[in-house]
Each structure stands twice: as C-alpha cells, then as structure tokens.
Amino acid sequence: MLPRFPIPWRNNLKEIERMTEITHLRTIRSFVLREGRMTEGQKKAIANHWPIFGLEREQGLLNFEQVFGRNAPTILEIGFGMGQSLLEQALAHPERNYIGIEVHRPGIGTLLKAMAENNVQNVRLYNDDGVAVLKECIGDQSLTGFQLFFPDPWHKKRHHKRRIVQNEFVQLVRQKLSLGGLFHLATDWQNYAEHMMELMEVAPGFKNKFGAKAFAKDTFGRPHTKFEARGQRLGHGVWDLVYERVS
C-alpha cells in the first residue's frame, strides 16, 4: 500500500513513486538498536567531545569546508562499530576528512575517547540512522569514498529484506559519490558477499574496480579489526568489493 500524501501529490505518479522509495528506505531498518551498558569512560568521552566532533541530523545539509575547516577529500562510513578501523584510517590519512555514522552509543564513546587520546581532528560523527543522514545531510556528488564494512548480514532468508545493501540504497550512495568515487563494501558472510556482488555488478553507474564479478584481491586499505579477527577464528572468510562511480 502506498503511503498517504497531501492531496496535490496524488496526481503525480512519479513523485509518489519517489516518496514510496524513500519511505521504504527509512521504514525497513537494517539495524536493531541494542544500546548495551556504557562505561564511565565512554560516557565521559561523549560529554566532553561530542560538542566538538558530533553532528546532528537536524543541522541539515553539511558544508564540509565549514565542518572540517578545510577542503579535503571526504570519506563516509556507515556502521563503524567501536571505531577501530575508522580511527586507524584517520591516523594514516590526515589529508582526508572522515564522517562516521553509528547508532550504538558505546561505539561513539569509545571512538571519541580514542580520538582524544590520539589528537585526531579529521573525523566527525553522527549517532543516527545512516540512510536518513545520507538523504538529509550529505550533498550530491560530494563524497570521495563510501565505506560499508561488516553490516548486519541478516542471515535468515526471511530477513534478507532488512539488509542495507539493496538497489535503492546503492543508488543513494551513487548519488552522493563524486565521479571516480569509490564504494567499498566488506562482509564475513559469503551469502551476503554474493548478494552484494549480484546487485553491484548490474547497478547503473558503477564499475567493479577489480574486473567483472571479481572480489578485491586484498582489503584495499581497510584496516583489519578485532571483529574481523574473531570471525576468522570462527571459520568465516572475508570478502571485499570495490566499485567506482563511472556515471
């Protein structure tokens, strides 16, 4: 059933279809909010550092130059977990800006604490729904790179509709990437890797950086994490995919 819209929109089929797509992206969530207990260190880090490095969706469309105080290539990551990988990238590439989005506050607190300890200045964070932030806060063709590492695989078939990597999401990412920008995905679930590959290989505007139907030969600069190491100990493989926006 289509969502209800104001009367003037009901005769505009294309507008209704567009809003239905947006509603689908927002209402079928790809995550479950499990807050968990926060340590005193995480709470303190949020209290002290969120006013400096935190962003709010209510601020609307971002001006990267104002937010970071400079013009620089900007990479966005949805679901950075506890922030280990994002921190390592920011330290290794001080010439880049990084925007991280995470719904779980313990991860936000842990990353803010590590940023303060390492004097990291080139990262800004959202504690929000990544799809909503993309839609409302990130300008079209403004990103150099987009990262999605180890999203929830929703491994049961009846839950596959909740996977974040769907056609609508892929085209939203394309909209936000500049030409030549890279979409880097990684998962430790083979079925999800195959799902990602199937969608991305036919997604308009993207080209596989490693050749048709090829996974990346290495991590393509993605740092190894404790989460990844745990999965490998359990016998999980890891698959990276890198696609360039070409149109």
Is 138 or 158 the better-scoring residue by pLDDT?
A: 138
Range of lowest pLDDT (43-47, 171-175, 227-231): 227-231
The mean pLDDT value of the chain amounts to 87
Q: What is the pLDDT of residue 33?
A: 58
Query: What is the predicted pLDDT for the residue at 143?
Result: 98
Q: How confident is the model at residue 247 (pLDDT cuts 50, 70, 90)?
A: very high
**Which pLDDT belongs to residue 22?**
44
Q: Comparing 1-15, 30-44, 90-104, which segment has the lowest mean pLDDT?
A: 1-15
* 159 DSSP assignment: G
Which residues are within 8 A (CB) of 149 and not within 5 positions of it... i.e. 6 or more apart?
Answer: 77, 79, 80, 85, 184, 185, 186, 222, 225
pLDDT(243) > 90: yes
Instruction: Domain ranges for the chain, please list them.
Output: 7-245
> pLDDT digit string (tens) for 52-75?
999 999 999 999 999 999 999 999
Rounded to whole angstroms, how far apart are CA atoms 164 and 110?
Answer: 24
pLDDT at position 110: 98
As annotated, the active-site residues are 152
Dihedral sign for Cα atoms in the order 118, 122, 125, 129: negative
Amino acid 233: pLDDT: 82
Tokens 């993605």 correspond to what residue?
A: 222
CA angle 20, 21, 26 (to 5 degrees): 95
The pLDDT of residue 227 is 67
Is the dihedral angle over the CA atoms 138, 141, 147, 152 positive or is it negative?
A: positive
Mean pLDDT, residues 181-188: 96
pLDDT band at 160 (very low <50, low <70, confident <90, very high): confident
First-to-last C-alpha distance (Å) of the chain:
33
The confidence score (pLDDT) of residue 228 equals 75
Q: Using one digit for the tens of pLDDT, what is the confidence trace for 16-48?
A: 344 444 444 445 554 455 566 899 999 999 999
pLDDT at 165: 96
Measured distance CA(49)–CA(83) in Å, rounded: 15
Both tokens of residue 35? 């807050």
pLDDT at 155: 66
Q: Give the dihedral sign, CA 186/150/77/164.
A: positive
Write out the CATH class of domain 7-245.
alpha beta
